[in-house]
Amino acid sequence: MKQLFLVLLLFPYLLFAQENPKYLAGAVPVTDGKVVFTRTFSLPGESQQHLFQLALKWAQEQFTPQENFQSRILMSDEPSGQIVCLGQQYLVFSDKTLSLDRATIHYQMYLTCNRDKCEAKITGIRYTYMMGDREQVIPAEDLITDKQAINTKKGRLYKSTGKFRIHTIDLVEQLFTSLEKALGSYPTAMGKNPANLTAGIPATGNTSLPGYKQISPDKIPGNIYKMLSENWMLVTAGKDNQYNTMTASWGGLGHLYNKPVTFCFINPTRHTYQFMENDDTYTLSFYTETYRDALQYCGTHSGKNEDKIKATGLTPITTPSGSKAFSEAWMIIECRKLVSQPFTPEAIHDPTSKKQWGNKDLHKMYIGEILNVWVK
């Protein structure tokens, strides 16, 4: 091992010319002396069983034995929600005519599925690398940590060890991104302070909502497609005692005029429509499966004829923008109207949709600038 490092570090002044900050200090986390990469994926309302099945399917596709490699699932236990995988593959540093520089990376990946979230951990990383005619096995702790890979004076990576660090970070990110897509989730914002919101995202001045923490729009968790099409949301407009709410499944998130935005669609026949027209701000709120009946009720009864809030037992609260929402929501998005536009039959290009909706009262689209995002 000492001979290996003499070779790897023989020329300490050989540094990468330019550095991407994502590979520099702090990019390789060390816990109790071991390199450990972790990521938590938040999926509010999802059962442990469903998340386990999604994670297991992903692992079965990702960790399969191939020529020269024995990647495989070491253990899977549905009751505990745990899956342990062994990964092996090449890291190719350069591939030129008559010259191939590569290493084999070995690692273990632990997946732990619970209700509402899945936690992933990659550790036990080591490399098999040919030095001359000898094959060396090197643990990640001896190669890719800040101490081993970064010239602290110049803030740059050593070429000799930095190549291991760069390719390992890229592989870890690829694995987490692939798992994120399979789960239909976004990583939970870990350790973020509301004061560190993304530049350009507006604040309302009051940055607190009892029982909730504030996150930036780019950290909104969950699969928005599923959150709308399957789990639904409540659109609530109005102020004080003059407000109404309705269940909606049409909408989404986006970026417009350099602002983070939501969009939703409300039919002019709905009681909530007048409140949306009369006020500048409103909320979109999201709920776990526990409140399915309440959302079903709000979608089939009109607040014009009865007190839907009392009937469902939802608890109204006032957000910092002065809008209304309900404390049962796991996430509340405060919005300010940015663009509103009625649909017309001529605007519907899809023949099937035009046949189904063209002769009916058409919805109006509301695009709202995101003011605040609150999660429990």
Residues 105 and 30 in one domain: yes
Residue 15 has pLDDT above 80, yes or no: no
- At residue 288, the pLDDT reads 87
Asked if 190 and 215 touch (Cβ cutoff 8 Å), the reply is no
3-class secondary-structure state, position 268: coil
243, two tokens: 């407000």
Please, what is the Cα angle at 94 between 91 and 96, to 5 degrees? Answer: 135
pTM above 0.85, yes or no: no
Residues 237 and 172 in one domain: no
pLDDT digits (tens, 9 = 90+) for 21-66: 788 888 999 999 999 999 998 888 788 999 999 999 999 999 999 8
Total number of domains in the chain: 2
Q: In terms of DSSP H, where are the helices of the chain?
A: 2-8, 48-62, 146-149, 159-183, 224-229, 271-278, 292-300, 308-312, 351-357
Q: Look up the CATH number of the domain holding residue 22.
A: 3.30.530.80
Please give the C-alpha separations between residue 65 and each of 57, 158, 221, in angstroms, as whole numbers.
15, 33, 33
Q: Look up the CATH number of the domain holding residue 216.
A: 2.30.110.10
Residues 200 and 180 in one domain: no
Q: What is the mean pLDDT of the chain?
A: 85
- At residue 181, the pLDDT reads 87
The domain of 99 spans 2-185
Residues 210 and 234 in one domain: yes
Strand-strand pairing, 364-375 and 331-342? antiparallel
Strand-strand pairing, 331-342 and 324-326? unpaired
Instruction: Count each helix (H run) and each strand (E run) in the chain, helices first.
Output: 9, 21
Which residue has tokens 């929600």? Answer: 81
Residues 199 and 274 in one domain: yes
Residues 39 and 149 in one domain: yes
Residues 223 and 109 in one domain: no
| Integer Cα distance of 61 and 102 in angstroms | 24
